[in-house]
Amino acid sequence: MELAELGRRVHATAHLTGEFVLRSGHTATEYFDKYRFEADPVLLDEIAAAMVPFVPAGTEVLAGLEMGGIPVVTALGRHTGLPCAFVRKEAKTYGTCRLAEGAETNGRRVTIVEDVVTTGGQIVLSTNELRTLGATVTDALCVINRNATTPEPLTGAGLTLHALLTPEHLQPDN
């Protein structure tokens, strides 16, 4: 499926207007409710299939960020055959007490998977934690980058962002 058509479908499924406070603290009049496209199994599968070419060569583990990155990374893992890690915002204080569950990330080349990126703040936080735990993280992959370019916090953290969809793809008449 062409990105323009996929962008139209994501827009039709997940685009909301109003006043929304984003995780970054910014206020937006447009919002993409990621759970709407993640809850549609056919659309999520098509998104994951379209993301496969964006997975950087050499990736050993796909790491989905809590909570929206988890369904995306699971679907993407199914298409790539790569193992997945599920990264919490903070390590549990009980049970395994791990930050990342699932595939081992220590000593492996990990690509972060996120649903929607505005500033990339959570990607940077999770990247720093994973690096501390021994992962090599140089890339992040997202379904939607709300920006025309990579947000500075990501480049400042030494990350390359690969986005399936950008604002140019997310127009109703695209």
Residue 68, annotated as binding a ligand:
no
Residue 155, annotated as binding a ligand:
no
Residue 117, annotated as binding a ligand:
yes
Residue 122, annotated as binding a ligand:
yes
Residue 9, annotated as binding a ligand:
no
Token representation of residue 105: 């990330």
Residue 92, annotated as binding a ligand:
yes
Cα separation of 66 and 27, whole Å? Answer: 22
Residue at token pair 């990579």: 150
Residue 23, annotated as binding a ligand:
yes
Cα separation of 132 and 163, whole Å? Answer: 25
4 exposed, middle or buried (CB, 10 Å; 0-12, 13-18, 19+)?
middle
Residue 34, annotated as binding a ligand:
no
Residue 115, annotated as binding a ligand:
yes
Residue 56 is classified by DSSP as P
Token representation of residue 102: 């699932």
What letter represents residue 102's amino acid?
G
Binding residues for 5-phospho-alpha-D-ribose 1-diphosphate: 23, 88-89, 92, 114-122
Residues at the binding site are 23, 88-89, 92, 114-122, 146
Residue ranges of the annotated binding site for orotate are: 118, 146
